Structure 1
Amino acid sequence: MLVADRNAFRTGATSAAMVLPSGFALPPLPYLLALLAGVAVAGAALYRTRPRVTPRVVLAFTPWMVVGASLYALFQIEAVPAAVRPLLGTPAVYLATFAVAGLVWAAASPFGADEWDLPSTPGLLLLIGTLTAGGVVGSALRIGLNRGGLLLGPPLAALVASLVVATGVWLLTVTNSEDASAASSVGWLVLLGHTLDGISTAVGSTLGFGEQTPLSRLIIELGGELVSLPFLGPAWLFVVVKVALATFLVVFVGEYAAEEPQRGYLLLGGVAAVGLGPGAHNLVLFAIA
């Protein structure tokens, strides 16, 4: 995940500091309690309804990942109301997004989980999530435009390149691995998310943005010591690591999904979110910052 100022890096002495991004902080206690209450309510609703987890359900969460990512980008450029700002930092924004999406999922759980047609669980999740994401991203673009203009070329190029690379790697992987095939379309989403995170970070490094996570920064610096490539800059090695790790996880967790589809697809969805969230955040930040 990127920041607009390279000086925002912080190198900690502990192992946690090597993993957690700069700016990672819990909100003030009243906000934290409200946030935990929201997460608890969503968790209880999901526990009570026990919704089915299918590939289409996981894919339907894609716009929700964009919602959290976009809100955090707005938080970074200080374009959110003060009253809700404590809920839009990291990790609070992702917990808040989960609370809302979880309640929508629980409400939609009585419907079928294997088709997109309305009413269905994937269809309702996708529809509400897309409308929400459209509103948040639209607001972000409007704010960016009012603050001095938009930068659309690099984020669009990063998105297109990620789609091409992820799809190519996915096709190659499923051709050679039955375990990857068991991951179904969720495996493609995992590859897309982490490829987007890698390529968008690489593009950002050529635009003057800095990586928030110290461990990722070390990989980027190592790649820069070896060679700097056009379009990817010094972060080419980070892209390779992200794509390779995502491919491994698709194969490894795909084997588990073949035996335990519910838990396997849920785990793959979490892995996809870890990549797609930061990747989408980078694209929105490029455009508006």
Structure 2
Amino acid sequence: MVLPEGFVLPPWYLLVPILVVLAGVIALLWALEPPVTDRTVLAFVPWMLFGSALHVLHRLEAYPDQFETLFATPTVYLVTAIIAGGSWIIGIFLYAGGLQSTIERFVGVAGTAFFAVFTMVILNIGWEEGTFELFWPVISVVIAGIVTAVAWIALSLWFTDVAATTSATGALVVFGHTLDGVSTAIGYDVLGAAEDVPLSRLILEAGESLPTVEYIGAGWLFILVKVVLALVIVGLFKEWVEEQPQQARTVLALVAAVGLGPGVHNVLQFIVT
């Protein structure tokens, strides 16, 4: 099995309009050609978190049956992209009309508001069901922050030009994938959570076969793979960021979302289940 468990597409009468709207959003953004800087990427972080919250609510069966497939993998990514892209377009027009000082401010504030509202719904569900627990989720974020800091300092010392060129976007890539690795490892080793992604499960099983499993668990190998992979990707993007920063940072933002989204999803899920 190559696809993760829970991978399901909505019926065609929902999927086709989603694809059409997404194509329209992408086409309009392509025509507007908004600048993409580190600030732009950071402004979209709340939207990455928002997508995670949408999917957690799907896991909690909070949506009506006729719409729940919209928030399963992979359609939740498309839905999130449409809403986030729409906010970007609105921000561009507000900035052009002099109603906002920057495009990023509107995008970031709107994303934060969406994420905050949906996160409160998730936390309320956990509180009402008596499953609310913060210890391991907080530990996951703290450890991920420490590991990211160490990895980024090491990159800055040995490959200074890579860290300087990719800057905050590169650091976000490393943090996102580190959080995914740490939260997955804690879920697997400590909380007994199952891993849905086949490739990730293979790495965890490989760690479980090592003699170190009795002392530090199986997840450390997964963390190592995620951190090294993130650093390698950041290094490979250096020249592209120098030559075509707008396109390169856009793709790097997507790479960051692939790590940060699942990582935040794990953290939110651990809080309420």
Tell me which residue corresponds to 2:199: 215
- Is the aligned partner of 1:120 residue 2:95? no
- Is the aligned partner of 1:235 residue 2:219? yes
Equivalent residues in 2 for 1:95-244, closer than 5 Å: 95-110=78-93, 118-177=100-159, 178-205=161-188, 206-226=190-210, 227-228=212-213, 233-244=217-228
Tell me which residue corresponds to 1:269: 253
CA distance in 1, matches of 2:226, 2:259: 9
Q: Which moved more, 1:128-137 or 1:37-46?
A: 37-46
Secondary structure class of the residue paired with 1:245: helix
Deviation of the 1:179 alpha carbon: 2.2
- The percentage of aligned residue pairs carrying the same residue is 39
Secondary structure class of the residue paired with 2:29: helix
Tell me which residue corresponds to 2:68: 85
Judged with a 3 Å threshold, the aligned counterparts in structure 2 of structure 1 residues 54 and 112 are, in CA distance, closer, same or farther, namely farther
Tell me which residue corresponds to 1:23: 6
- Structure 2: which 5+ residue stretches go unaligned? none
Q: Is the 8 A contact 2:8 2:69 kept in 1?
A: no
Of 215, 222, 230 in structure 2, the residue corresponding to residue 246 of structure 1 is 230
Whichever residue aligns with residue 219 of structure 1, its letter is I
Equivalent residues in 2 for 1:3-82, closer than 5 Å: 12=1, 17=2, 20-82=3-65
Deviation of the 1:167 alpha carbon: 1.8
CA distance in 2, matches of 1:27, 1:200: 28
Superposed CA deviations along residues 125-181 of structure 1, whole A, max 9, x for unmatched, are: 110000000001111000111122312110111001111111221122122211232
Deviation of the 1:110 alpha carbon: 4.9
Q: Is the 8 A contact 1:194 1:242 kept in 2?
A: yes
CA distance in 2, matches of 1:164, 1:229: 24
Tell me which residue corresponds to 2:266: 282
Q: Is the 8 A contact 2:204 2:219 kept in 1?
A: yes
- Structure 1: which 5+ residue stretches go unaligned? 1-11
Secondary structure class of the residue paired with 2:61: coil
Deviation of the 1:229 alpha carbon: 6.5
CA distance in 1, matches of 2:148, 2:214: 19
TM norm structure 1: 0.88
Q: Is the 8 A contact 1:38 1:96 kept in 2?
A: no
Deviation of the 1:283 alpha carbon: 0.4
TM norm structure 2: 0.93
Secondary structure class of the residue paired with 1:102: helix
CA distance in 1, matches of 2:20, 2:214: 47
Shift >4 Å, 4+ stretches: 110-113
Deviation of the 1:38 alpha carbon: 2.3
Task: Kindly indicate which of the two structures has a greater share of residues assigned to helix.
Answer: 2
